[in-house]
């Protein structure tokens, strides 16, 4: 309440210096960032600013493209791609969609779009993370990408007509085979990594790492590649430094963007027709609805069965019962609090386990080691996850078995001899 806020009184002279510096930092941290002069021209909607800003937005909105790949897109294609991406993310202003496809106009509108992206999330940091230079041998300790099952996939061209169920069996077999191959390759890669790590023990200047990674060893084997790696690393360091600068200075940029927005003419209020963009319709949500309903049904059955058993049983009577019941209810509530939160709208499903790629470091067995995750812990966590997933899979398969048995019907139908080995 009585905290004195240090107000940064920016006098005009400082502001005129601070803004170009802030923009320079921003432009250095973004890929293909234009000069501060371009930004200034864009505020006044000068046409020469537009192409550079289209290019910038294209690079920013499609970071998965390699540095040189964006050159293979024509300017029109880049413009269309930027428009689509912005609308998919929900960009509110119509004026952008109405800009011509040749990329010759729209500096101010593009500037607003860039500011909108910057305001919604840590854009420079996200771009840097996606394209960062990997110096070590990294392994993710979670399987978050596997968890996110993709949306309805694109249909393949061949599956136009009907398909024999044996084709499905064949595809499943092929999938199993590929997984086996993958496992074998992965084991080999781990063995090789182990060797490389142990052969280069003690080489690293950084004692907490102790040995070289494949990337580092490769740079010693191939100095030309090593020089390229060093250049990439130095460029990344420059961009990281610029991102930190930007964070320090960005306030003055937002004040300036306010004036840019003020300089725009107000938009007409009637909505004009806009081309359709792909949005997940209810068709895409239907499988999810079915899945949740199925889950609800299973839970209902289980709950009814257990409640009936409970009522019929002998436990839970007597005066001390109500106290115990309240205590149990609370305990269960706390137990499931994390899960409840994870399932709520906008909740995070992280479940407090470590995430992200970690750099592999080989230590001597029994050595205390420095900070970092220990492999045995991760193995434990993965084992328990594996066990839980197997339970779910067996459950689903069991359901199918019951359902099929029901459909086949009672005898005198054919006799089913189940395969051995279960």
Q: Is 248 in the site for another protein (CB under 8 A)?
A: yes
Q: Is 174 in the site for another protein (CB under 8 A)?
A: yes
List the x/- string, 152-171, binding to another protein by CB under 8 A.
Answer: xxxxx-xxxxxxxxxxxx-x
Residue from 10, 93, 104, 245 in contact with another protein (CB under 8 A): 93
Quote the least distance from Cβ 101 to another protein, whole Å: 19
Q: Which stretch binds another protein (CB under 8 A): 51-59, 70-78, 99-107, 290-298?
A: 290-298
Q: Is 261 in the site for another protein (CB under 8 A)?
A: yes
375 CB burial (10 A radius; 0-12, 13-18, 19+): middle
Q: Which is nearer to another protein, 48 or 293 (CB)?
A: 293
Q: Which of the residues 111 through 130 are near another protein (CB under 8 A)?
A: 112, 115-116, 118-122, 125-126, 128-130
Q: Is 332 in the site for another protein (CB under 8 A)?
A: yes
Whether the link from the prior residue into 336 is cis, omega within 30° of 0, is: no
Instruction: Identify the bridge partners of residue 140 per DSSP, sorted by sequence position.
Output: 357
Residue from 1, 13, 268, 323 in contact with another protein (CB under 8 A): 268
Q: Which is nearer to another protein, 104 or 215 (CB)?
A: 215
Closest by CA position to 56, among listed 20, 119, 106 = 106
d(CA 126, CA 108): 24
Q: Which is nearer to another protein, 2 or 419 (CB)?
A: 419
Quote the least distance from Cβ 151 to another protein, whole Å: 6
Q: Which of the residues 381 through 400 are near another protein (CB under 8 A)?
A: 382-383, 385-386, 388-393, 395-397, 399-400
Q: Is 143 in the site for another protein (CB under 8 A)?
A: yes
d(CA 204, CA 181): 34
d(CA 134, CA 216): 10
Quote the least distance from Cβ 241 to another protein, whole Å: 6
d(CA 97, CA 82): 10
Q: Which is nearer to another protein, 16 or 134 (CB)?
A: 134
Q: Is 99 in the site for another protein (CB under 8 A)?
A: no
Q: Is 257 in the site for another protein (CB under 8 A)?
A: yes
Closest by CA position to 193, among listed 360, 349, 59 = 360
- Containing 138, the helix (H) or strand (E) segment is strand 138-140
φ/ψ (deg, to 5) at 106: 105, 25
Q: Which of the residues 211 through 240 are near another protein (CB under 8 A)?
A: 212, 214, 216-224, 226-227, 229-230, 233-234, 236-237, 240
Quote the least distance from Cβ 346 to another protein, whole Å: 8
Contact 210, 198 (CB under 8 A): no
Residue from 176, 228, 322, 326 in contact with another protein (CB under 8 A): 176
Handedness of CA 56, 57, 61, 65 (dihedral sign): negative
φ/ψ (deg, to 5) at 138: -105, 145
Q: What is the Cα Rg of the chain in Å?
A: 30
Residue from 2, 72, 145, 259 in contact with another protein (CB under 8 A): 145
d(CA 21, CA 19): 5
Quote the least distance from Cβ 40 to another protein, whole Å: 19
Contact 154, 375 (CB under 8 A): no
List the x/- string, 14-53, binding to another protein by CB under 8 A.
Answer: ----------------------------------------
Contact 186, 338 (CB under 8 A): no
Q: Which is nearer to another protein, 51 or 91 (CB)?
A: 91
């Amino acid at each position: 309440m009585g905290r004195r806020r240090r107000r940064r009184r920016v006098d005009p002279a400082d502001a005129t210096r601070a803004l170009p510096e802030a923009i320079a930092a921003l432009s250095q941290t973004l890929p293909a960032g234009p000069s501060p002069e371009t930004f200034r021209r864009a505020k006044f909607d000068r046409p020469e600013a537009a192409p550079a800003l289209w290019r910038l937005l294209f690079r920013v909105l499609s970071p998965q493209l390699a540095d040189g790949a964006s050159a293979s897109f024509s300017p029109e294609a880049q413009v269309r791609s930027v428009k689509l991406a912005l609308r998919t993310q929900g960009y509110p202003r119509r004026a952008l969609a109405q800009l011509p496809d040749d990329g010759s106009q729209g500096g101010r509108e593009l500037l607003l779009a860039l500011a909108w992206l910057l305001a919604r999330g840590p854009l420079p940091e996200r771009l840097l993370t996606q394209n960062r230079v990997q110096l070590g041998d990294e392994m993710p300790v979670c399987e978050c990408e596997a968890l996110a099952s993709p949306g309805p996939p694109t249909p393949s061209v061949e599956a136009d007509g009907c398909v024999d169920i044996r084709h499905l069996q064949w595809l499943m077999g092929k999938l199993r085979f590929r997984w086996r191959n993958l496992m074998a390759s992965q084991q080999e890669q781990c063995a090789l990594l182990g060797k490389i790590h142990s052969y280069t023990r003690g080489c690293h200047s950084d004692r907490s790492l102790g040995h070289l990674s494949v990337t580092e060893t490769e740079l010693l084997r191939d100095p030309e590649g090593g020089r390229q790696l060093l250049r990439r690393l130095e460029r990344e360091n420059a961009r990281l430094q610029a991102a930190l600068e930007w964070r320090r200075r960005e306030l003055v940029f937002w004040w300036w963007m306010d004036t840019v927005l003020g300089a725009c003419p107000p938009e007409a209020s009637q909505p004009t027709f806009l081309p359709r963009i792909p949005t997940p319709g209810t068709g895409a949500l239907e499988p999810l609805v079915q899945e949740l309903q199925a889950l609800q049904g299973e839970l209902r059955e289980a709950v009814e069965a257990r409640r009936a058993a409970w009522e019929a049983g002998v436990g839970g009577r007597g005066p001390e019962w109500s106290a115990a019941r309240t205590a149990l209810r609370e305990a269960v509530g706390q137990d499931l609090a994390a899960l409840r939160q994870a399932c709520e709208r906008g909740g995070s499903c992280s479940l407090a386990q470590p995430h992200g790629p970690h750099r592999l470091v080989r230590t001597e067995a029994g050595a205390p080691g420095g900070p970092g995750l220990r492999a045995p812990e991760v193995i434990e966590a993965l084992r328990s996850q594996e066990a839980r997933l197997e339970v779910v899979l067996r459950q689903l398969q069991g359901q199918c078995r019951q359902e099929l048995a029901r459909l086949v019907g009672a005898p005198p139908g054919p006799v089913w001899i189940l395969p051995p080995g279960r």
